[in-house]
């Protein structure tokens, strides 16, 4: 399994639009019911910083990046960032999910 953590900070004016574009990605993910994907996004205190954590079973192909909504999200993001987008590979040390999902 490959896990990637992406962090960035948007302008204050774009933060809510960005959150909407992120929600659109989740809507498309749910409609396609992609297997082998774990994806979560967090909006940090202050509202302009976002953290995305994506884990995919295949180390070769990330199905999230092929979604039309994700491509639209990416195209619009960079011009509205006030700090560079940082992409980091991560290794899971442990995880827990009490919800059973």
Residue 101 scores a pLDDT above 60: no
H-type alpha helices, 40-81: 68-77
> Domain ranges in the chain?
2-90
Question: Which CATH class name applies to 2-90?
Answer: alpha beta
So what's the pLDDT on residue 9?
Answer: 97
So what's the pLDDT on residue 54?
Answer: 92
9 backbone dihedrals φ, ψ, rounded to 5°: -130, 125
Give the pair of three-digit tokens for residue 62: 């990330």
Residue 80 scores a pLDDT above 90: yes
| pTM metric for this prediction | 0.88
Angle at CA 42, nearest 5°, toward 65 and 101?
80
Give the pair of three-digit tokens for residue 92: 């899971």
Are the C-beta atoms of 20 and 10 separated by less than 8 Å? no
Selected residue with higher pLDDT from 85 and 59 = 85
Percent of the chain with pLDDT over 70: 96
Around Cβ 57, how many Cβ atoms within 10 Å?
A: 13
């Amino acid at each position: 399994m490959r896990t990637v953590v992406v962090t960035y900070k948007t302008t204050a004016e774009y933060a809510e639009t960005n959150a909407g574009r992120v929600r659109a990605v989740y809507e498309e993910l749910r409609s396609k019911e992609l297997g082998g994907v774990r994806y979560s996004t967090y909006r940090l205190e202050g509202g302009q910083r976002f953290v995305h954590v994506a884990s995919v079973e295949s180390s070769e192909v990330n199905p999230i990046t092929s979604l039309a909504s994700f491509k639209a999200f990416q195209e619009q993001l960079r011009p509205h960032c006030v700090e560079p987008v940082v992409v980091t590979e991560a290794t899971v040390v442990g995880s827990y999910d009490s919800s059973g999902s």
